[in-house]
Structures are given as C-alpha cells and as structure tokens.
Structure 1
C-alpha cells in the first residue's frame, strides 16, 4: 500500500514537471541576439482561445543606451504606442506533444517590423528560443529568453 502511494506521488510529480516544462506562461528576460545583453522583461499569458500573448513589462537599462519610449516606426495599430506595456507577441499556439509553439506574430518595436514567430521551449522549461521570420523560418533571427519566475 505504501509502495503504491509512493509510486503515485512520484508519477504525479513527474507529470506536473512535464506540464510545467511545456508551459511558456510567466516572466521572461529577453536577451538581445546581437549584443547578448538583457533587453526587456516580457510577461507571457495564455488567452481564453488557447493562444499565448507576450507584453513588455520592463525595459532593461543598458550602459550607453537610452531606451526609446514609443514605437515610432511601427505600423498601425502600434504607431507611436509606448513600448512599455506593448503587446509584442501574439497568437502563438502550442503544438501538441512537443515543446514548440507556432503561428504567432512578433513585433520588433525598435525596428518597427512585424514577423511570423515560433517558439521552442527547452526541456527543463527555463529557456525559450523565439524565432522571428518573414515567410521562411530559415531566413529569420532567433533570440533566447530566460525564465525569471
């Protein structure tokens, strides 16, 4: 009886870790793919329609860099929106049985461009790789985000 209880507890713990590792909701530190410096803090939430949305909750100060306050080269509806609080990631959908999320869109508020997006979460759920691209994924750029929560 005790052995069965221990096995059930262990199985439950393993399953809950697996579920956590597949979930991208939470607070993430965005790392600049060109400089390797911390860029901003993003909060990812799961929406009622089972897609994921990411919003900038803090712009990380960097030495020698004055952060832009607004998205001044961005297309509508983002034109002149404040970068802090901006929803930069939307529409990501989980691919069942994987650590992947696809069919999203990401905006780069510094360049004013919108890209297709996909995300790969690492096995322990502590890092994700966001790939932004136009048309073909091979022609895009990747960023690493580190889980903070």
Structure 2
C-alpha cells in the first residue's frame, strides 16, 4: 500500500508539473514593430508546421505616416526575387527550445526591405503577448531585435 501511495503521488506530480515545461505557443497573428521608427510595419501569421517547426508569412502590410510601403521584394535573391511582400514567408524552421519554454531558435528570418536572410531566435514573454525577434549574422550578440505584439 505504501508503494502504491508513493506511485500515485509521483504520477500526480509528474502530470501536474508537465504543463509548466511546455513551450509557449507562438502560433497566431503578430504585429511587427520597427525597431528604428517604433511604427508597426505589418502583420505576420505564424503557423506550426507538420515537422514541429514554425514559419511566418506576411498577411498585412501597414503603411507608416509619410511612407509608401514596398510591394515587392526587389532586393531578395533567388526564387524570392521580385515576389510580392504580401504573402511572403519571412520566418522559417524555428524550433522550440528543449531548455527554456519561452525560447525558439534554429530558424531564419528574411528582411523583405533589404532582401537579407538572417539566423534568428525569439523569446516570448510569460503571458504570450510579446515576442522579441532577434536576427543576426554569425554571433547572436551582433544583430538586431524587433518586438512583435500578439494581434487579435
């Protein structure tokens, strides 16, 4: 009986604590904020793919005051050259961290204005309403970060 009670206690603790270690879901629509101007640039929809990675596509471009937004990725290379920015997949292969439930890494992010592709990481705030997206070349310490806000 004592062994059964210990087993029951252990099973309950494992079951109750499991959600604490689950990654914060980043699926949904996110409003991107330009780190230089503070203006919203667009809406990106992030989806979980069948291989458990995440990708993000531009679903809305938001014009800034006094600025006409680009409509094509004229600086992109390869198969993305001159593709419409609206509908462009800019985030690819992002994987949830096994160590930290609020972190994702291993992916790439495309800057459709410059056409440059960067390695990327992202961190989600505890309540899942903000992302800090980091794009970098080489070392993560040398890069740029943007804030993305959950868009309902």
2:64 corresponds to which of 37, 62, 65: 62
The residue aligned with 2:148 is 145
Equivalent position SS for 2:146: strand
2:26 corresponds to which of 19, 24, 27: 24
TM-score with structure 2 length normalisation? Answer: 0.84
1:34 corresponds to which of 33, 36, 39: 36
Counterpart Cα distance in 1 of 2:110 and 2:103: 19
The residue aligned with 2:113 is 110
Equivalent position SS for 1:81: coil
Give the CA deviation at 1:18.
7.7
Counterpart Cα distance in 2 of 1:122 and 1:18: 15
Return structure 1 stretches of 4+ with deviation > 2 angstroms: none
Counterpart Cα distance in 2 of 1:41 and 1:18: 29
The residue aligned with 1:120 is 123
Root mean square deviation, CA, Å: 1.9
Counterpart Cα distance in 2 of 1:23 and 1:44: 10
Unaligned runs of 5+ in 1: 1-10
Distance change >3 Å, CA 36–CA 18, structure 1 → 2: farther
Counterpart Cα distance in 2 of 1:24 and 1:135: 25
1:113-135 deviation line (CA, Å, top 9, x unaligned): 00001110111100000000001
The residue aligned with 2:54 is 52
TM-score with structure 1 length normalisation? Answer: 0.86
- Structure 1 or 2, whichever has the larger Rg, is 2
Equivalent position SS for 1:48: coil
Aligned pairs (5 A) from 1:76-115: 76-98=78-100, 99-115=102-118
Counterpart Cα distance in 2 of 1:139 and 1:83: 26
Equivalent position SS for 2:51: coil
State the aligned residue count.
137
Counterpart Cα distance in 2 of 1:27 and 1:145: 9
